[in-house]
């Protein structure tokens, strides 16, 4: 049951990103939405890989994956700032 709710939530967030891209009249809205999600997840992965050298890592959880997917690279930056401040 939890998996169904999680999948519906992910589909809803993806649909919202596509609608935002369509409203802003972006070319190829699905590709841009997927690109933003992958860029956010990639940035989160790079932060954790370089954490071996810098000592700064972010925990991989549903919250961090969601923020990095929805907000992209600025979301990962915000997570880093919150991690350093709190």
Q: Give the Cα separation of 67 and 27 in Å (integer).
A: 24
Claim: this prediction has a pTM higher than 0.75: no
Gyration radius of the chain over CA positions: 14
The string of pLDDT tens digits covering residues 42-85 is 999 999 999 889 888 899 988 888 888 888 888 898 889 888 88
Range of the domain at 40: 2-85
pLDDT value, residue 75: 87
Q: Give the Cα separation of 30 and 17 in Å (integer).
A: 8
Q: Give the Cα separation of 39 and 33 in Å (integer).
A: 10
pLDDT value, residue 26: 67
Q: Which of the 8 DSSP states describes residue 82? A: H
Q: Give the Cα separation of 22 and 28 in Å (integer).
A: 8
Q: Give the Cα separation of 77 and 86 in Å (integer).
A: 14
């Amino acid at each position: 049951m939890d998996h169904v709710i999680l999948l519906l939530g992910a589909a809803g967030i993806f649909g919202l990103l596509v609608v935002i891209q369509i409203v802003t009249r972006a070319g190829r809205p699905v590709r841009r939405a997927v690109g933003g999600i992958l860029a956010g997840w990639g940035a989160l992965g790079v932060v954790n890989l370089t954490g071996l050298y810098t000592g700064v890592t972010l925990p991989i959880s549903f919250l961090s994956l969601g923020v990095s997917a929805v907000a992209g690279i600025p979301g990962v930056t915000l997570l880093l700032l919150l991690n350093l401040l709190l």
